[in-house]
Structure 1
Amino acid sequence: AFDSQKPIPTELRGEVLDLADDRTKDQRKAMDDEYAYLGVKDPKVLVTTSRDPSSRLSQFLKELRMLFPGAQRMNRGSYVVKDLMELARSHEMTDVILVHEHRGEPDGMVVCHLPFGPTAYFGLSNVVLRHDLAEKPPAMSEASPHLVFHGFTAKTGLRVKTILQALFPPAKQAGDRVMTFANHHDVIHFRHHSFARPKGPGGDGHRSRAKDVALTENGPRFQMRLFRVELGTIDMKDVEVEWVLRPYFNRQKEALALPEDGKNAFLWTWDDLGVSSLPVRRSQRPERGSAAPPTRRLTRNAARPDMRSSRQRDVRAKQWFGSFSPQSQPSPPANLLACLDVGDPWPESGPSCWGTWRGEET
C-alpha cells in the first residue's frame, strides 16, 4: 500500500504498527520521543503520597526516596493533583511518583513522566521495609545504582522498562549498588542489594573469584503489577490509554514477556526453604521465613495423559514424569538467582526432579 499509494485494507488497519517495514519504522522513530534525554540528562524525581498518609506509608516514602539518587520528598498536605503537577512542572521535575495505601499498607504506585507523559499505574503487594528484614541492613548509599531487568521482552515490557529506567541516572562503573526488576508472569519483583568485592590476592595467593563477592540486601522489597499505561499525565483529562490490564479476558500470552519455549514458565525453589525443587508453574516463590504453600494433588486435565488401563498407566506415567527430568529443565539465570537472594545458591549437582508437587495446578 505504501508503494502503490493506496489505502491500507480494512482488515489490516488494526495491525499497521506491527506490520510496518523499515521505512515506516524510521518515520516513527523520527517523531518526538518522551525519553529523548534518557541517559543524557539526570532525572529529577519528586516522590509523595496520598493525602493523610499513615506512619507506615510515610516510612515507605522515606525509603523509596533513597532509592532514586537526587530525588526530593514532599509532604502532600492539602495539595490536589492539579496543583501538585503544576508545582512539579515549575521546578522542572522530570518524574512524579505517587504512592497510595489501603488500611495502612502501601498498595499502589503511580509513575508520571513530565511534561506530557506517559503515566504508568502499578499495584503494590508484599511490601517489606528495611526494619522488617531478617538481617539488619547496612547504611544505604545514595550512589547511582546498577540496574538489572529480567523478563521484559514484549512490547509492553520494553515500554515499562523504559519508564522505570528513566527514574535513575547512569551508573558509575565503581558503584556497589544494584537494583533488580525481575518479571515473572507479569509480576515485577523488586530487590535492592549492595555488594562488596574483596581486593588483593586471597589466602592461596590468587586473585579473588566471583563467588567471593558478598551480597547484602538493603531493602525495601516489594512486588509490582502493571494495570494501566496512559499517554498523558495524571492531571490531564480524556487521555489516550496505551495499555490496560484485562484480567477477565481468557488470554494465553503474558503482557511483559515473550514466550521462549517455556523458559519463563518455570520457577525454581530450594529444599532448604521447605519447598520441593520440582519446577512449579504459575505460582509465587514464598518469602524467606514464610510457610510453604499447601500441597495440592494433581487432577486429571487436558495436559495429563488418560490412564485407563494398568499397562497404559505404567507406560504413560514414565512419559509424564520423564518430561520433568533435570536434563529437560532450563537452567536459571545466575545473575537473577544472586540478586533475588531468596535462598542458598543453586547446588552444583543441579535440581532434583522428584518430590512433592506444590503450587497451583495447570
Structure 2
Amino acid sequence: MGDLIIRNAAALTPDYIPPRLIDREEQMNMLNMMFGDYLKSPGSFYARALLIGGTGTGKTITSIKFGEYASRNSTVRFIHVPCWTHRTMHSAVRFIGESLKISIPRRGFSSEEILEIIYDHLKDNGIYIVVVLDDVFHIVNNSGADALGTLIRFYDEHIGEHDYHFSLILIDRDDSLLVKLDAGAKSTLGNNIIRFPPYTKDQIYEILRDRAQAALMPGTYNDEVLEMIADVTGASGGNEGRGNAKQAIEILWKSALTAQQRGSRRILPEHVRYAVKNTLVIHVGELRGMDLHEKLFLLAIVNALRRKRDSAYVTFGEAEDEYIMICEKYGLRSRRSHGQLWHYLKDMENTWRIIETRPSGKGMRGRTTLISIPYESLDVLAQELTRLVEFELAVR
C-alpha cells in the first residue's frame, strides 16, 4: 500500500450530498417556483413536479438539496422514497407511513387503504409533507401506471377539501412515464416538468474538482487527470449518452484507489486509463437495486456470453439454463418461472438498459430471443455481480 491519497472516501460515494449544488441552479429555481408558495403557506394548493433526466444528471441530489432548503425555511416535511428499494406502490406508501411513525399492520391493507391512513394522520396532526418518488419507473414497472395515477389524482377523491396535506415530486429517466399515465393523471401533473440535461465536459470537470477537494489529499492529483475523466464522461456534440456525473465520480474513485494500491504518490493518467477500462456504464448502485434473482439471471447472461467469446449473442434458453446452474451452485431453488425471467429480461433492456435483444434470424431452428451486452466489460460485470450476490446471501 502506498501513500495515502484518499482521505475521505465517503465524498466519492453515490450517497454523498456535497455542501453546494453545481450547475443545477436553474432546476433548483424552478422547484422553488413550483413549491415556494406551498412552503410559505402549507396546504394552500397541491404542488407537484416531474423531474426528468438520464442517470447521473443531478435529479436526486437537486431534490435532496431542495428538501434541505425547505426544512430550514418551512414546517413542511420532505420524505424521499428510493424506489429502487421500494419498487411497488404498496412498499412505497408503507415507507411513507413508517417515516411518519404511523403504526400500520404488516398485512391486510392495500396501498390505497394505507394512503388513506396516512392522509387521516396528516389531517389529524396538522402535518404537511412533500413526497419524492425517486426512480418512479420501478413502481410503474411493478405495480402499473394505474397505481401511480391513483396517487397523483388522490385529491380527485377528496373534492371540496382545500387543505392539501401532501404534495408530490416524481423523478424519472425519460418521458416514457408520460406515455403510460392516463389522461387524468397527466392533466393533474400539468406542465410542471423540470428537465435535467446530461452534464457537459466543463460541468463534469467542475463536479470532479469539487469532489477531489473533499475526498483526496492535497497534491495527489492535478487538473489534467480531472480533465481526462471529464473528456471521457462529459456530453459534447453527438455524445448524448454521456454526461453521467455518477460514472465520472466512480472513475475518479477507482483512479485514486489504483494509484494508492500501486504505491504512487499521486494519480497518473495510467491510473485513469485503468479505471476507465474497469468502470461499468451502469452504476454499481443500480445493480444493487435489482432483486436477488434478477442479479442471478443477469450473471447467467454474462457467464453464457463469456463462454461464447466468438459470438456477440446468447439465446434466452442458454441464459435460462445458466441461471438454473447458478442457483444450484448457491444452493438456491430456481423458483422464477419462464415468465418471470422474461420480465427480468425486459426490465434489463428497458429500465436498466444494460442488454440488447433481437429475434433470431435465419439459420436457427425455431424462433427465440437473442441477448447481447454491448456496452459493458463482461469480466468486470461478472466480478461486480458475483460480489453483490455473495454479499446478499451472506447477510440473509
> Same fold, TM exceeding 0.5?
no
State TM-score, norm by structure 2. Answer: 0.24
Which structure has the higher relative contact order (CA within 8 Å, separation 6+)?
2
Question: What is the TM-score normalised by the length of structure 1?
Answer: 0.25
